[in-house]
Amino acid sequence: MIDAWAELDRNKLAMVWVNQEGQEKKFSFRDLKNLSNQAANILIKYGIQKGDHVMLILPRIPEGWIFVIALTKLGAVFSPCPTMLTPNDINYRVNAGHFKMVITNKENAPKVDEVHVQCPTLSYRVLVDGERQGWINFPLELHYPATVSHHAVSISSGQRTRSTDPMLIYFTSGTTGEPKMALHEQSYPLGNIVTARLWQNLTRNDLHFTYSDTGWAKCAWGKIFGQWIEGACILVYDVTGKFKATELFPILEKYEVSTFCVPPTVYRMHILADLKKFDLRALRHCVSAGEPLNPEVIRVWREGTGLEIHEGYGQTETVCCIGIFAGMECRYGSMGKPAPGWHIELHDEEGCPTPDGEEGRIAVRLDPRPLGLFVEYSQNPEANREDFVEGFYYTGDKARKDKDGYFRFVGRDDNIIKSSGYRIGPFEVESVLLEHPASRSRLLWGRLT
């Protein structure tokens, strides 16, 4: 799709990147085509082939998108990870996923260096913004390109892939133990068409903004696949320092953002500002996901902008599978109806459908299997047995459905914590606490006494 848009209109804008200091870069689809071909040729030079696993630990910088396109062209399996990972987190993920290469920046490279000798499959480390001992210098490689023409990769060196070939791994928190590897296949981008076209209401003339870190699945929902398939341009706001939600308003105003997606936490911060101070006339559609929105937040936002907030529901394992889609009535406290192609029921503990108005477990029917649903938890048969039962995938969330078919989120049916739309496992909380000196001293004292 990147190359197709590039050929259709060589000047069509694909990305506007801006950081907190006001620096700005713009990329057309043609720019991304050529840059991703160059990146793909460098990856080929270092032996990355179809099916190889590559980890990305990058902040909101253009290189993240360039490498995602390049890896997709090669048929490699990539895993975007948050920059907040600790060395122990990286060690676990690299070994669990048998990653051959890690691509990161100078800020995060020391964490990889701390553990790379413990990772036997890790053959290459790529630095996107400079030089470091033992690392491939991406900017330098661009000055000394591989012998393959930078236009050739998508034709001669690119790998044809089947819809069922592996494409993407997200690490997602479970109720016990380390994060699980949710594997998505090559059809996953197509599942995001509904997310972009019907939930975010995008067209080829829109500038869309989603506030999400590159390591989360929300980035895939709102900052790459569906948006670029539709031909829309994305706005990337690179936040590296302390973030205040109200600093987004001047950005939305300056770039005339037309569609907008942020988690409920950011909406709650936004309504504390004087919304009418800013010229948001270009804004025509707003969406939110991650947790339910308070009716008061929705009311204040509507009074300040004249717009409803269209809520949606999904997971790292899915695309937006329930939502208030374009043309639907927005109802307070409701996350909408199932997306086209998704047959979703509510079940009791025995797997039987629950009556309207009663709480039940969200169950996705697997026949036919919806586009955008993950394949499995790699190397975790126990988790697969728990979540895939008798033709349904159980999301681990509970909801109620009214007589009109609108779903209302109730909560998790396990002890997963949801914070700003992200799932955090108790094991991860425990691990962080154990690393703190005060926690270690308390544990030691408890053992001694």
Question: How do residues 18-62 score in pLDDT, each as one tens digit?
Answer: 999 999 999 999 999 999 999 999 999 999 999 999 999 999 999
More confident residue, 359 or 419: 359
pLDDT for residue 115 is more than 80:
yes
Q: Which residues of 354-372 are buried (b: 16+ CB within 10 A; e: fewer)?
A: beeeeebbbbbeeeeebbb
Residue 291: its pLDDT value, please? 81
Strand partners of residue 365: 392
Query: Which has more confidence, 40 or 422?
Result: 40
d(CA 100, CA 124): 7
The predicted pLDDT at position 277 comes to 87
Contact 107, 84 (CB under 8 A): no
Q: Is residue 136 part of a domain?
A: yes
Least confident of 199-203, 378-382, 409-413: 409-413
For the chain, the residue count is 449
User: 241: pLDDT confidence band, cut at 50, 70 and 90?
Assistant: confident
pLDDT of 295 reads 87
Q: For 12-72, give the DSSP string.
A: -EEEEEEETT--EEEEEHHHHHHHHHHHHHHHHHTT--TT-EEEEE--S-HHHHHHHHHHH
What end-to-end distance do the CA atoms of the chain give, in Å? 64
The maximal CA–CA distance of the chain, rounded, in angstroms, is: 73
Report helix, strand or coil for 373: coil
**Count of Cβ atoms closer than 10 Å to residue 10 Cβ:** 12
Count of structural domains within the chain:
1
Residue 433 lies in a domain: no
The predicted pLDDT at position 426 comes to 53
Going by their DSSP bridges, the two strands 233-238 and 207-210 should be labelled as parallel
Domain that holds residue 130: 2-426
Closest CA to 347 of 404, 399, 382: 399
Whether the pLDDT of residue 110 is over 50: the answer is yes
In a domain, 438, yes or no: no
Confidence band, pLDDT 50/70/90 cuts, at residue 332 = confident
Is pLDDT at 240 greater than 90 in this prediction? no
| 169 residue type, one letter | I
The answer on pLDDT for 308 being more than 60 is: yes
Q: What is the CATH number of the domain that holds 142?
A: 3.40.50.12780
Q: What is the pLDDT of residue 150?
A: 46
Average pLDDT of 176-196?
A: 94
What is the pLDDT confidence band of residue 227, given thresholds at 50, 70 and 90?
Answer: very high
Of 150-154, 283-287, 296-300, where does the model show the most confidence? 283-287
CA 34 to chain centre: 24
How high is the pLDDT of residue 175?
60
- Which CB contacts under 8 angstroms, 24+ apart, belong to 267-273? 267/293, 267/297, 267/301, 267/309, 268/294, 268/297, 269/244, 269/245, 270/245, 270/246, 270/301, 271/297, 271/300, 271/301, 271/304, 272/246, 273/246, 273/249
Q: Assess if residue 413 is contained within a domain.
A: yes
In a domain, 255, yes or no: yes
The pLDDT value given to residue 319: 97
pLDDT band at 360 (very low <50, low <70, confident <90, very high): very high
The model's confidence at residue 270, banded by pLDDT at 50, 70 and 90, is: confident
Q: What angle do CA 443, 445, 447 make, to 5 degrees?
A: 70
Q: Place 177 in a pLDDT band, splitting at 50, 70 and 90.
A: confident
259-273, 309-323, 356-370: lowest mean pLDDT where?
259-273
Confidence band, pLDDT 50/70/90 cuts, at residue 151: very low
pLDDT above 70 (res 195): yes
Which residue's structure tokens are 């770039």?
Answer: 255
Residue 432 included in any domain: no
Q: How far apart are CA 16 and CA 195, in angstroms?
A: 21
Q: What is the pLDDT of residue 45?
A: 94
**Is the model's pLDDT at 427 over the cut of 60?**
no
Q: Which of 225, 230, 238 is nearest to 258 (CA)?
A: 230
| Minimum mean pLDDT range among 49-63, 269-283, 414-428 | 414-428
Please check whether residue 209 is in contact with residue 261, taking contact to mean a CB–CB distance below 8 angstroms: yes
Q: Give 163's contacts (C-beta < 8 A, 6+ positions apart).
A: 185, 186, 187, 190
Distance CA(358)–CA(353), nearest Å, equals 10
Q: What is the average pLDDT across 75-91?
A: 96
In a domain, 399, yes or no: yes
Question: Is 437 among the domain residues?
Answer: no
